[in-house]
Amino acid sequence: MNTIEFTILIALGSILAGFIGALTGLGGGVIIVPLLTTAFGVDIRYAIGASLISVIATSSSAAAAYIKEGYSNLRVGMFLEIATTIGALSGAFLALVLAPSSIAVIFGLALLHAAYSSLQNPKDSLESKEDPLAKLLKMDPSSYHVQNIPGGFLLMMAAGALSGLLGIGSGALKVIAMDRVMKLPFKVSTTTSNFMIGVTAVASAGIYLNRGYIDPALSLPVMLGVLLGATIGTRFLVRSKTSSLKILFSAVIFILAVEMIFAGLKVKI
């Protein structure tokens, strides 16, 4: 296969990944890494580098649209970005120690969790009491009270570490930290999470660039493809009912996850 053919094929795969990522709300990253490693035989380090690039692109380009949808909580987001960036740096360092095969297994497990949580129905569980730490950090707007900041902070560090280790946005975990643990409204959680994903991804992408994991020729079709696919997916999402599609794609992600776990384990044996 020559470079032009390879680039076109990867671009088509990336458009599909971006489309499915936008439709399921999981982001393109969780689909592009298994696609590159299993279908195109790309080394997982190059795949993670290219995926992080696509994560930064989609989260930044979606920001304007997300803001129209609802209010994000900038203070909560900025404060928790301390946790996600520290986590992302640790994840990138952890990637040096762990074998690529075990990274593949962890990836599969994270993918299973993301697919599962995308099928859950969002539910707001707001709290009426004011938390003293939230008061100190001036996080509460007039309509809800932020709770359990230490718990949310710890979970955000884990989300950042997974993002840095696996090259994904780990939006699912970020949303859980905010809406379940810290009791923010679901819409506020998803909007704030999207804002945080880009910053988190840059924290580990910088290290990966310095380490030589980010290949321009591979990132070219991945970045542009995922961006295009995500844009189409978002338009599609507005226009149609997608619950049955969502289930279908979650099944696809489930298969990808199992395949990645299997591939990781097989290399080890």
- Interacting residues toward another protein by CB under 8 A: 1-4, 6-7, 36, 40-43, 45-47, 53, 56-57, 59-61, 63-67, 71-72, 74-75, 78-79, 81-82, 85-86, 88-89, 92, 137-138, 141-142, 195, 198-199, 201-207, 209-221, 223-224, 227
118 or 198: CB nearest another protein: 198
- Residue 167, phi-psi category: left (phi > 0), alpha (psi -120 to 50), beta (remainder): left
Shortest distance in whole angstroms from residue 15 CB to another protein: 14
Give dist(CA 257, CA 251) in Å, integer.
10
Q: Minimum distance between the CB of residue 215 and another protein, rounded to whole angstroms? A: 6
Task: Please state the closest distance from residue 123 (CB atom) to another protein, in A.
Answer: 24
Give the single-character DSSP code of 104: H
Smallest distance from the beta carbon of 198 to another protein, in angstroms? 4
Tokens of 177: 């930290």
The terminus-to-terminus CA distance of the chain in angstroms comes to 31
Q: Of 125 and 210, which CB lies nearer to another protein in the complex structure?
A: 210
Closest to 77 measured CA to CA, from 198, 200, 195 = 195
| 120 φ/ψ angles, rounded to the nearest 5 degrees | -70, 145
Torsion angle, CA of 100/102/103/108, rounded to 10 degrees? 130
Give the integer Cα–Cα distance in Å for 141 and 168: 30
**Least distance between another protein and beta carbon 80 (Å):** 10
Indicate the residue among 46 and 249 with the shorter CB distance to another protein.
46
Min. distance of Cβ 249 from another protein in angstroms?
A: 24
CB closer to another protein out of 115 and 260: 260
Of 138 and 241, which CB lies nearer to another protein in the complex structure?
138
Name which of 108 and 160 has its Cβ closer to another protein: 160
- In 3D, which of 77, 23, 36 has the Cα closest to residue 223? 36
Nearer to another protein (CB atom), residue 115 or residue 161: 161
Min dist. Cβ of residue 57 to another protein (A): 6
Entry field: residues in the chain:
269
Q: In whole angstroms, what is the distance from residue 63 CA to residue 66 CA?
A: 5
Q: How far, rounded to the nearest angstrom, does the alpha carbon of residue 78 sit from its chain's CA centroid?
A: 17
